[in-house]
């Protein structure tokens, strides 16, 4: 009798006792606002080691959005909004990317080669999708479904940060407001920031939201018909408690002002 092929055992990414990808802050928030921070953490599963990177690289922007978690939490407090954050490094998988794009698991981030992300098997890729990406976004979906079922109004905002220099090119903006199909909320946020601050406000800068790459705004926001906006704050301006509080107050005020004209 010919030997039977062995069953394929799926790769296991997260070990017993390692945190769930989702961190929720203020889940019982009563306002119309719902916040997401996809790049809040820089944890690496023990099974991935250091991904071949030293501590300096694992602390850089390539691993997470520096300052975004603290600002998002302060903003959630000011708005009394639930905040859904993702704990693992975007080098494990980028939870603001579609899983079928190359940048979802970057082999090179900016100019840094990520050795632990090269030559991955389909099982290794699937483990990152099923154990990090889906658990996080499934939880967001469940929360938004519950709001819809309850007839609650939802205004979606995501919080990110960006580097002052990218591949040697300086970025002049202090804050970016990113949007795609939203024609009311996001433009009003832009108007408020331009009229009431001295910041160089990037309109869809330094990035633009697109269906082929981004996830939270197109899927959780636009597909549901929510007013939605993504904030990008330059990360050299996010350090320290005062900076966190100042940014959160500014974002909260801009969102409240813009929401007044949203149906």
What is the residue whose two structure tokens read 């794009």? 101
Q: Has residue 7 been placed in a domain?
A: no
User: 238: closest CA among 41, 66, 87?
Assistant: 66
Q: Has residue 11 been placed in a domain?
A: no
CB contact at 8 A, 239 and 180 = no
Structure tokens at 103: 């940048």
Model pTM score: 0.94
- What's the CA gap between 114 and 111, in Å, rounded? 10
Q: Has residue 143 been placed in a domain?
A: yes
**For residue 72, what are the domain limits?**
22-259
Q: Has residue 64 been placed in a domain?
A: yes
User: 14: closest CA among 44, 45, 50?
Assistant: 45
Q: Has residue 179 been placed in a domain?
A: yes
Q: How many domains does the chain have?
A: 1
- What's the CA gap between 91 and 88, in Å, rounded? 8
Tens digits of residue pLDDT in 224-261:
999 999 999 999 999 999 999 999 999 999 999 999 98
Residue 92 sits in a domain whose CATH number is 3.40.630.40
pLDDT at 263: 63
Kindly give the confidence (pLDDT) of every residue in the chain, 263 residues in length, as a single tens digit, with 9 standing for 90 and above: 444 544 444 558 999 999 999 999 999 999 999 999 999 999 999 999 999 999 999 999 999 999 999 999 999 999 999 999 999 999 999 999 999 998 999 999 999 999 999 999 999 999 999 999 999 999 999 999 999 999 999 999 999 999 999 998 999 999 999 999 998 999 999 999 999 999 999 999 999 998 888 999 999 999 999 999 999 999 999 999 999 999 999 999 999 999 998 86
Pairing between β-strand 175-178 and β-strand 228-234 as defined by DSSP bridges? antiparallel
């Amino acid at each position: 009798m010919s030997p039977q092929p062995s069953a394929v055992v799926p790769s296991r990414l997260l070990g017993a006792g390692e945190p769930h990808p989702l961190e929720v802050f203020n889940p019982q928030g009563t306002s119309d606002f719902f916040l997401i921070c996809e790049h809040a953490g820089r944890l690496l599963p023990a099974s991935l080691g250091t991904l071949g990177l030293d501590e300096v690289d694992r602390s850089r922007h390539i691993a997470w959005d520096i300052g975004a978690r603290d600002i998002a939490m302060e903003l959630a407090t000011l708005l009394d909004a639930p905040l859904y954050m993702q704990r693992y490094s975007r080098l494990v998988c980028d939870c603001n990317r579609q899983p079928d794009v190359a940048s979802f698991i970057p082999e090179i981030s900016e100019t840094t080669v990520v050795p632990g992300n090269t030559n991955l098997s389909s099982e290794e890729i699937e483990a990152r999708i099923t154990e990090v990406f889906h658990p996080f976004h499934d939880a967001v979906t469940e929360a938004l479904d519950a709001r819809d079922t309850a007839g609650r109004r939802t205004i979606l905002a995501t919080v990110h940060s960006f580097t002052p220099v990218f591949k040697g090119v300086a970025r002049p903006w202090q804050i970016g407001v990113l949007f795609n199909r939203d024609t009311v909320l996001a433009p009003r946020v832009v108007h408020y920031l331009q009229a009431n601050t001295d910041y160089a406000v990037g309109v869809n800068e330094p990035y633009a939201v697109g269906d082929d790459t981004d996830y939270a705004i197109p899927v959780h926001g636009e597909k549901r018909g929510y007013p939605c906006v993504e904030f990008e704050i330059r990360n050299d301006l996010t350090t320290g408690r005062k900076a966190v509080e100042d940014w959160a107050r500014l974002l909260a005020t801009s969102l409240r002002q813009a929401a007044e004209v949203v149906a």
